[in-house]
Structure formats: C-alpha cells, structure tokens
A and B are shown apart, each in its own frame.
Chain A
Amino acid sequence: MKQVILSLVIVVLGVFGAAGSQAGTTEVALKPIKVDRSLDSLRRGAQVVFDTCMRCHSLRYITYRDLLDMGLSKEEVDTLRGDRGLGEYLQTTMPPSAAKFHFGMLPPDLSLMAKARKNGPSYIYTLLTSYEEMSNGKIDNPVFPGIRMPDILNVTVETAPEERAVVEQQARDVVAFLEWAADPRAQERRELGVYVIVYLVILTALLYWRKRKIWSRLDEH
C-alpha cells in the first residue's frame, strides 16, 4: 500500500506540474503582487477609485456604510458621499447612455472584479500598468488586446522612473481596495480561522490520545 501511495503522489505532482507550466505559456505573464492590506493603502485606493474609476464603473455591492466598516472615519465617508445617503451603493457618475455612446457597452461592475478573474489582484494590477504604444501609434494592452478602457493611470505618458513609481503605487492601492470590495468579510474570516484551527488541532490531539488509550486495552490480552 505504501509504495502505491508513493507512486501516486509522484504522478499527481507530475500531472499538476505539467498543468502549471502549460498554463504559463498560453497566457500573458501577470506581474505577481502582494496586496498591501493596510488601512492606508485601502484609503488611498478608495480615493483613486472615487476620483477615476467611478467616472465609468460602479461598485454595486458596496455602500457608503461599508466604507465605515472598512475603517474610514465618518468625516472621510461624508466627504466622499456628498449628498448621497449612507445606504446608497457606489454608483458611477456616467449615465448609461453616455457609456453606451463612448464604449458601446456598460463598463463592468468592479465590486467582484478581484475575484472574477483568475489571480484577480495580479490581473488588475497588470492590466492597469501594461498599456503601451503600439508601432502604429495606437495605445493597446497586451493583457487584454483591444480593450475599450483607455489608459486611465497614464502609464504610457508618465514614463520617467519617479512618475512610474507613483503610477504603480496607485495601481497597488486600487488593487488593495478592490480586493477588499470583493470580499469585505475576508479579514474577519482570516482572524476567526486562527482560533478555529488552533481549537481543532488541540481537540484532535486529545482525541488521538484518547484513541491510543482505548486501543491499548486490546494489547492486554
């Protein structure tokens, strides 16, 4: 049985190793990023999203009240919402007819974007920072060729290293905010998980000890 298991483990690793390497060659390599989940990053990200992204995109699962839960102060939220109610969701300022006119479509909702793409955070970061000028003078994006969203963060214009650093930081902050928006309960989940798993490990160790104890009765005969 042991040999059987061992050989199977090797095969499984082989199959999935092959799967991994294959996946890399067919898609554009994403820039892997580690999401900065600090409140500072979320706050800056929210600001960029309000100032730029929400000109075209909505976040229909996020209300202004959720921003309070995220950690923004009442004053910050009040500044962001203006005369909108706390219970209203984050709605784009662009009317649908204008969006249809400019893009031929409604820009997709961003609330779930960080989960609705594979490796969502890296995908969004790479998408936002990969705009480039093609040989024909047009601006395009290798992550999403022919994308109808323009180069929002001005990646193609701000090419000097220090300007680039600012743009990339903005993209990171946006990603942090969008990751939060896709799963606002994630922090609560990660915190609770520690307790649950520690509890289960202790319980299981005790059960194992009990099991050894009970089964040792069999050795007496």
Chain B
Amino acid sequence: MAGRIIDWIDQRFPLTKFIKHELTEYPTPRNLSYWWNFGSLAGIVLVIQIVSGIFLAMHYKPDALMAFDSVEHIMRNVNYGWLIRYMHSTGASAFFIVIYIHMARTLFYGSYRAPRELMWWTGQVLLLMLMATAFMGYLLPWGQMSYWGAQVITSLFGATPFIGDDVVRWLRGDFVVGDATLTRFFALHYLFPFLIVGMVVIHLVALHMVKSSNPSGINLADKDNIPFHPYYTIKDLFGFGVFFIVFAYFVFYSPNTFIEADNYEPANPLKTPPHIVPEWYFLPFYAILRAIPDLLGGVVAMGVSVVIFALMPFLDRSRIPGGAKYRPIYRVMFVLFVIDILVLSYVGLKPPSGSLVIVGQVATFVYFSLFTLLPFISRWEERWLRKKGLPPEVEELIRQEEEEAAKRGRRA
C-alpha cells in the first residue's frame, strides 16, 4: 500500500528521486570534523526561534503601553510562557554563537574559495538578515535597553548625507522611537525569519551543487565520499543532542545571562540609562563605530566591517589548499583576527574612557589591516611556501586542483 502511494506520488512529483539525490546518495566528504556540524545547528536554532516566536506572538501585544506588561504576562501567567520566552531570548544568542563559529570555520578552512563563493555570499546575506531580525526583536520587550538601544542605532542612520533626518524618521515612523516604531518592528520581526528560510533554501541549493568543503581543503567530490544518510544524519543528530544540553542549561538555570538587567525596567523616554550597550553579538561592530571620531565615518566603518567578509574570495589569493592547515601565516592571521574581535567586544562593552579609546582604535586598525593586507600576504606566503617546498601530497593536490579548474574553464 505504502509503495503504491509513493509510486502514485513519484509519477507526479520527484519524491523518491529527491530523497535519493539529496539525502541517501548525496555525496559528502568522509573527513568532515565536528566543526562542520554548525551549519545544521544554525538550521535547528532557526526552527527553535520560529516555533517559540509564533507562540510568543499569540500572547504578545505590540503596543507601547502594553508590550512590557504582556511579556511579564507571558512569563508569569501563560502556561510554560516562561519556557517559551527564555527559549526565544536564549535562542537569539545561541543563533549568533553558532553562526559566528560557522563563519570562523569557513574562514579557517578557506571554504569561501572557488567554487563556493555563492555559498559565502548567501551566508553573508543571511548574517545581515539575522542581525536585522535580532535588532528589531530586541525592541519588542520594550525595556530600557530595548528602547535606548533602538534609539541609538536608528539615530546612526542620521549620518546619511542630506536626507539623514528623513531616513531616521522613516525608520522610526515618528520623531523618536515610540509606538509606531514598536509596531513596525514587530511586523518586520515576524516577516524576516521567513525570508531567512527562503535564503537558507538558496544557501542549501548552492551547497548541493558545489558539495561540502572539507578539512583538507581540496575537492574530494569523486574521491572519498560517503552518502549523507545515514552517516551525517546521525552525526548531525548527535550534534543537536550536545547543543540542546548546553542550550537547556542556559534556559533552565541561567536564562538571564543574555538579558541585560536594565531591560527588566520598562522603557522610559525621559530617563537615559547611564550606559547604553547593544547586545553582545553587536559589540565588536559597535566598538568600530565608536573608534572613529566622526559619525558618518564611524557608521561607514561599522557597515564595512560587517560586509567586508564578502570580499574574502578576492582578498585571499593563495592557491594552497586546506585553508589555514598548510599555511602558517594565514593561521597566525586567523588567530590574530579572533583575538582582535574579542578585544573589540570588550571595548564595545565598556564606557569609552582614555586608554580604552586608544585600544579600540588600534583594534579597529588591526581589523581592517588584516583584510587589506591579505591579498599581498597570501600571494607572498604561497611563493615562500612553494620555494621552501610543500609536502609532496599538497603539491600533488594543487596540480590536480589546477587541472580541474582548467577543465571547468574549458567547459564554461
């Protein structure tokens, strides 16, 4: 019976073919490390956020007079409302942790390189959409930090030449952040996750075209592959298990780690908090904004610092496979970059004062220097390494890679 139903469907829709092609026969490199779990983890966090978000929206009131109370109502009176709310607020932070690790893995192993540029760029778009969604979501509890964070960030758009004030008013729907802002942020916060789902589909279609990269950095497509199912379905499920243990720890035992204390005070337009901080996941970029003394310059630098990742396929000109694996200098740059991000986060967290301002400016300089120097360093590093003599198997890989690239070129 089941077989007949599937036959019936298969004549009208490529169900079996799809499952075969994308799952049971989809070739995946055998040597993926656990760093490759973070893509599927991002997917499961997206699901957590959408499901918990829909349930929150059933009880939440996007109205400046009721928003704060409605969140407390969810926390106190709705059945398991506290669970839904804490899952959603913890999930936002989890999303960024997972995505940042996913990006770091891509940078470390050079997975952004040809032929995976489109994966990297759709990922970059996903990052921007995630940031926008998180930013708008943070306004919804209508606490002090929600309010003043939105006030500060929207005012940045005032740096737009000539039409700055109009842009800000258009974003807020009012002269200051208020009821109009809250309502539109809620509408968009509900919309964006579904746009993200669409973008994830594009990201995955691209993935299934070019296949996963792998720690050796070379194209293993026809060399050492195993089917995705069951090997990676079970490995991803195990990854989910580990993730959910950590996630549950925070949801049940430390749910306010990621919620600023000030945000348990209702928004008060007349009382500016002494120190306004954005959410932790924006801190490095916020520090870059503040490092530049000029507002327009700061806003541009902040914007560039987020989208500059998209240039990586052009900036990294080394042909040595394996990302940082065979490349000692790139490896040092990677470590420096991560340290720099941490320093920037710290600077973004603290009120700007004498020496910290300098630290922030130096760290900003280092941030952009690493990107701008990469084309020269990567070329020079490649020449140096090849003169010094790479392991023969790596030389062999480069030769094969070039052959394949040439083949691709002929076909095109």
Contacts and interface: CB of A to CB of B under 8 A. Distances in A.
Interface of A: 1, 4, 7-8, 11-12, 15, 18-19, 22, 61, 66, 108, 112, 115-118, 120, 182-185, 188-190, 192-193, 196-197, 200-201, 203-204, 207-208, 210-211, 214-215, 218
Contact of A211 (B235, B339, B345): B235
26 contacts: A1-B33, A1-B108, A1-B325, A4-B331, A4-B335, A8-B338, A8-B339, A11-B338, A11-B342, A18-B346, A22-B350, A112-B72, A117-B261, A182-B264, A183-B82, A188-B82, A189-B82, A189-B86, A189-B252, A190-B252, A190-B253, A193-B251, A196-B252, A200-B245, A201-B245, A211-B234
Given A11-B338, A193-B249, 11 more contacts: A1-B108, A4-B331, A7-B335, A112-B72, A112-B265, A115-B256, A116-B262, A185-B76, A197-B245, A211-B234, A214-B231
B242 interface: yes
A61 B234 contact: no
A203 B334 CA distance: 36
Contacts of A211: 234-235, 237-238
A23 to B, nearest CB: 9
Given A197-B252, A201-B245, A116 B264 contact: yes
B313 to A, nearest CB: 22
Which of A118, A211, A214 has the most B CB atoms < 10 Å from its CB?
A211
Interface of B: 30, 33, 72, 75-76, 82-83, 86, 108, 226, 230-231, 234-235, 237-238, 241-242, 244-245, 248-249, 251-253, 255-256, 261-262, 264-265, 324-325, 331, 334-335, 338-339, 342-343, 345-346, 349-350
B27 to A, nearest CB: 14
Nearest to A188: B82
B264 A112 contact: yes
B279 to A, nearest CB: 16
A61 B324 CA distance: 55
A184 B238 contact: no
Looking at chain A's contact residues, the main secondary structure is helix
B82 A185 contact: yes
Nearest to A120: B261
Contacts of A188: 82
B242 A204 contact: yes
The 6 closest A-B CB pairs, nearest first, are A193-B252, A204-B241, A116-B264, A207-B238, A115-B264, A185-B82
A186 to B, nearest CB: 8
B194 to A, nearest CB: 28
A197 B325 CA distance: 37
Nearest to B244: A200
Contact of B234 (A117, A197, A201, A210): A210
Contacts of A15: 342-343, 345-346
Contact of B334 (A4, A22, A118): A4
Contacts of B241: 200, 203-204, 207-208
Nearest to B242: A204
B234 A214 contact: yes
B34 to A, nearest CB: 11
Contacts of A184: 76
Given A116-B264, A185-B82, A196 B342 contact: no
Contacts of A204: 238, 241-242, 244-245
Given A11-B342, A15-B342, A218-B30, A118 B252 contact: no
A95 B269 CA distance: 24
A182 B331 CA distance: 47
B346 A19 contact: yes
Nearest to B237: A207
B249 A197 contact: yes
B76 A208 contact: no
A201 B249 CA distance: 11
Contacts of B253: 190, 193
A8 B249 CA distance: 23
Contact of B248 (A193, A215, A218): A193
Which of A184, A201, A204 has the most B CB atoms < 10 Å from its CB?
A204
A197 B241 CA distance: 10
A108 B261 CA distance: 15
A192 B253 CA distance: 10
A118 B265 CA distance: 12
Contacts of A117: 261
Nearest to B256: A115
Nearest to B215: A1
A116 B343 CA distance: 27
Nearest to A210: B234
Given A116-B261, A185-B76, A207-B238, A200 B248 contact: yes
Given A189-B82, A207-B237, A116 B265 contact: yes
Contacts of A22: 350
A185 B75 CA distance: 8
Nearest to A196: B248
A65 B170 CA distance: 45
Contacts of B86: 189
A182 B256 CA distance: 12
